[in-house]
Structure 1
Amino acid sequence: MQKIVDEIKKLVKFKKDTDVGDVVLIAAKEPQMLVYAYVTSIERDASRKDEWWHVQMAMLSLPVQHITWTLRTEQMTGQEIFTMGGEERFVQAVDFSGVVSKTGPEVTTEKKVSPLKRIK
């Protein structure tokens, strides 16, 4: 699993923390899974002595699936690969800063040509 995570980190810019409203990338080896989820809630698990959190997420799939995982800070911030049901998992918030232009969409006077017409 560490090899998969290392490859993902070459392709995706991640945040160091995870907050409500973040989009996280979830990776699993078995069953093979690579999916995004939107963090809808993070609440302290008061039933545990150590610091654990109920992380509620909406998996961005069709149909949208709502899940709640109980994770430690290191697990929900990509610092630690963890197991669920004996299978390894990785979760970390994606950093979208710098992905979208702050000045808005690029304006051009050039006529747009369908990609299919360019193939000829």
Structure 2
Amino acid sequence: MIEQTIAELKKLVPFKETTESGDIVLVLAEEEEHPALLYALVTGIERDTTRRDEWWHLSLQLLSVPPQSVVWTLRTPQFTGQESFTMGGKGRFVKAIRIEKPQSVSSPGPKAKGGLRLVK
């Protein structure tokens, strides 16, 4: 079921191919009845030196109420959305989203105090 949800998300969300500190990631968590979707801020990516293979400590600030800090130990394909994985027997998917910069207005209007543009 999680693979079908991932396929639908890839049609709707502008994902990045890489994940870096400072990125916003979409986290899909398989739950009992419905999948849970939430955003998280990547606050750090550090190599797990206790393992022979390439694993990373992915530090996340979950943008939930209340906000929560978590650290997950994942391989690169897992935190870049190249593959889904399980935690506690439940499917998971993590991938950074591409945030588009707003397009600048071609003809700025008059400025208000404090440098804001007046919109009528």
TM-score, normalising length from structure 2?
A: 0.83
Distance 1:49 1:68 in 2: 19
| Letter aligned with residue 73 of structure 1 | T
Deviations 1:35-74 (A, max 9, x none): 0000001000000000000000000111110000000000
For structure 2, the 5+ residue unaligned runs are 110-117
Q: Closer, same or farther in 2 for the Cα pair 1:6/1:55, shift >3 Å? A: same
Equivalent of 1:74 in 77, 83, 92: 77
Distance 2:66 2:29 in 1: 19
| Letter aligned with residue 91 of structure 1 | V
Determine whether 1:100 maps to 2:96.
no
Equivalent of 2:89 in 86, 89, 94: 86
Deviation at 1:79, TM superposition (A): 0.2
The 5-angstrom pairing of residues 1-120 of structure 1 reads 1-31=2-32, 32-97=35-100, 99-101=101-103, 103=104, 111=120
Query: Number of paired residues?
Result: 109
Q: Closer, same or farther in 2 for the Cα pair 1:58/1:110, shift >3 Å? A: closer
Distance 1:105 1:86 in 2: 52
Alignment partner, residue 115 of structure 1? none
| Letter aligned with residue 22 of structure 2 | G
Task: State the identity as a percent.
Answer: 49
TM-score, normalising length from structure 1?
A: 0.83
Q: What's the Cα RMSD here?
A: 2.0
